[in-house]
Amino acid sequence: MSVPLWIWILTIVVILGFFVFDFVTHVRTPHEPTLKESGLWTLFYVGLALVFGVIVWVGWDGEHGLQYFTGYVTEKALSVDNLFVFALIFGAFKIPRRYQQKVLLLGIIMALVFRLGFILLGQVIIAAWSDVFYLFALFLIFTAVKLIVDEVGDAEETSPDEMRIIKWIRKVIPVTGRYYRDDLWLRKSGKLVFTPLFVALVAIGLVDVMFALDSIPAIYGITTEAYLVFTTNAFSLMGLRQMYFLLDGLLDRLVFLAYGLAAVLGFIGVKLLLHALHNNNLPFINGGEDVDWLPEISTSGSLIVIVGILTVTVLLSLWKDARDRSQGAVDPNRNRKVDYDDFGNKHYVDEDGYMVDEHGNELDWDGEVLTEKGGDPSGGHVH
């Protein structure tokens, strides 16, 4: 069944509407969302994705419904890996917590636009050359192996601030040495200048392009329907902003996540390879004939395996963290919150969620000691 253009347009408009709603109601005023706010909205977007899956199941058929749910679970798991990179970028650019929402939301919108381009390009390539699944399969298997090698070798993360293109941006456009609330740019002495927040936004967009290189082939290993590829990506990205703050502090505990994601990508790579062999046109493989004697992995089987891998990964990670804590192997300050003022200076956060100096004095957004408790009224930062 070919998805009509009007359904595409309606879907995109509704998804963009949710992003606009998110910005107007939550992001426009700089603040760090509470755990309750993050949790409720994460549940809302997950529920929305599940409802859409039911609509696909009822309105299309069960097979495409299964493909959607399997793809959604896979993309959601891969998006959690994005959260680690987001945290790395925020730390590298010393972005205050109250401004992180804006960068996340705009970065996610950029990601969705980039991915739509990749999805449409992938559909064209598949239609023109079905054997591209061999390349997708090999790339996913290579990525899985690299993830494990990097994790075992404890490979050092590259700071986004050291990316060549980020260095180049800093050279060709004027960038301020501090944050000016959540402005991406402003005028100083009549000249347009950009803030570090804008540079961080560019870094998030570029990083997501790299993530899409394994994310898109992975979802095409589950379904070749471009509409399902797009919607699984869209719904996995919706609510990612809230999930970042919900899982803040938990990410460091998911010590086996890289192995779990590697297993998922490797599994999908094998699934793609088997699919390619069943639809083989390469003359040097089985004389250009299909390799029918090999098994194919069903969509329902894929869903069971992927959910199983992710469940075991999370449970093992939490078990190890609990064991390490009981043995005193975890730094007690590891999960203590830190924040930055508008000049990029690091401070700890008190139990009320506000920046304090080493003496416990509450600080305003510029890092100055407040004469009275209650936050920084100049920026709407009040108890």
Encode pLDDT of 175-194 as tens digits. 888 899 899 999 988 899 99
Q: Per the domain annotation, does 374 fall within a domain?
A: yes
Residue with token string 């793609």 = 272
In a domain, 276, yes or no: no
Instruction: Read off the pLDDT of each residue in 92-96 and give the average, rounded to a whole number.
Output: 88
| pLDDT interval class at 372 (50, 70, 90) | low
Q: Are 374 and 227 found together in one domain?
A: no
Same domain assignment for residues 371 and 233: no
- Per residue in 261-293, pLDDT (tens digit) is 899 999 999 998 998 898 888 988 988 898 889
Tokens representing 46?
């997950």
Q: Is residue 140 part of a domain?
A: yes
pLDDT interval class at 380 (50, 70, 90): very low
Higher local confidence (pLDDT), 347 or 72:
72
| Residues 202, 345 within the same domain | no
For residue 379, what pLDDT is reported? 45
pLDDT on residue 47: 97
Comparing 14 with 358, the larger pLDDT belongs to 14
Q: Are residues 227 and 94 in the same domain?
A: yes
Q: Which residues, 6 or more positions from 27, have their beta carbon under 8 angstroms from its beta carbon?
A: 101, 102, 105, 241
Do the beta carbons of residue 53 and residue 236 sit within 8 Å? no
pLDDT band at 74; cut points 50, 70, 90: very high
Given a cut of 60, is residue 332 above it in pLDDT? no
Whether the pLDDT of residue 345 is over 90: the answer is no
Higher-confidence position of 332 and 42:
42
Q: What is the pLDDT of residue 127?
A: 83
Predicted local confidence at residue 383, as pLDDT = 38
Report whether 186 contacts 180 (CB < 8 A): yes
* Cα radius of gyration (the chain): 23
Q: Is 286 helix (H, G, I), strand (E, B) or coil?
A: helix
147 contact partners, CB below 8 Å, separation of at least 6: 258, 259, 261, 262, 265
Percentage of the residues of the chain whose pLDDT score is greater than 70: 92
Q: Clarify whether residues 342 and 243 are in a common domain.
A: no
Higher pLDDT, 56 or 334: 56
Pairing of strands 191-194, 338-340: unpaired
65 phi and psi angles, rounded to 5 deg: -65, -45
The neighbouring-strand residues paired with 338 are: 348
Q: Identify the pLDDT of residue 330.
A: 61
Residue entry with tokens 């919607």 = 231
Q: Over 50: is that where the pLDDT of 381 sits?
A: no
Alpha helix segments (H runs only) across the chain: 5-22, 35-59, 62-92, 97-128, 132-152, 164-172, 196-220, 226-237, 240-246, 257-278, 299-326
Structural domain includes residue 283: no
Q: How far is CA 271 from the centre of its chain?
A: 24
Q: Is residue 28 part of a domain?
A: yes
> Is residue 282, in this structure, part of any structural domain at all?
no
Please name every residue paired with 187 in a beta bridge, in sequence order, or none if there are none: 192
> Which of 72-76, 230-234, 259-263, 321-325 has the weakest average pLDDT?
321-325
Query: 245 and 358 share a domain?
Result: no
Q: How far apart are CA 122 and CA 110, in angstroms?
A: 18
What CA–CA distance (Å, rounded) separates 136 from 176?
A: 42
Where does the pLDDT of residue 374 fall: very low under 50, low under 70, confident under 90, or very high at 90 and above?
Answer: low
99-129 confidence digits (pLDDT tens): 999 999 998 998 899 888 889 888 888 888 8
Residue 155 has pLDDT above 80, yes or no: no
Domain that holds residue 175: 5-251
First-to-last alpha carbon distance for the chain, in angstroms, is: 55
pTM: 0.84
Residues 247 and 342 in one domain: no
Rounded CA gap, 310 and 320, in Å?
15
Domain boundary among 251, 272, 300: 251
DSSP letters for 143-204: HHHHHHHHHHTTPPPPPGGG-HHHHHHHHHS-B-SS--TT-SEEEETTEEEE-HHHHHHHHH
Q: Is the pLDDT of residue 5 over 50?
A: yes
Q: Would residue 262 count as lying in a domain? A: no
- CB-CB neighbours of 123 under 10 Å: 17
**Residue from 29, 93, 159 nearest 343 by CA:** 93
Boundary residue ending a domain (233, 251, 269): 251
Asked whether the predicted pLDDT for residue 82 surpasses 60, the reply is yes
CA 223 → CA 19, 268, 295, distances in Å? 26, 11, 17
Residue 197 within any structural domain of the chain? yes
Tokens of 208: 């997501």
Contacts of 279 (CB under 8 A, 6+ apart): 130, 133, 290
Indicate whether 229 and 358 sit together in one domain. no
What's the average model confidence in pLDDT over 217-234?
92
Of 162, 200, 158, nearest to 179 by C-alpha is 200
Number of domains forming the structure of the chain: 2
Q: What is the pLDDT of residue 325?
A: 80
* Lowest model confidence (mean pLDDT) among 37-51, 291-305, 327-341: 327-341
- The torsion angles phi and psi of 234, rounded to 5 degrees, stand at -65, -50
For residue 316, what pLDDT is reported?
A: 94
Round the average pLDDT of the chain to a whole number and report it.
Answer: 86
Q: Are residues 152 and 20 in the same domain?
A: yes
| pLDDT at residue 161 tops 90 | no
Q: What pLDDT score does 160 carry?
A: 59
Question: Longest Cα pair distance anywhere in the chain, in angstroms?
Answer: 81
Q: Show which of 184, 218, 251 is a domain's final residue.
A: 251
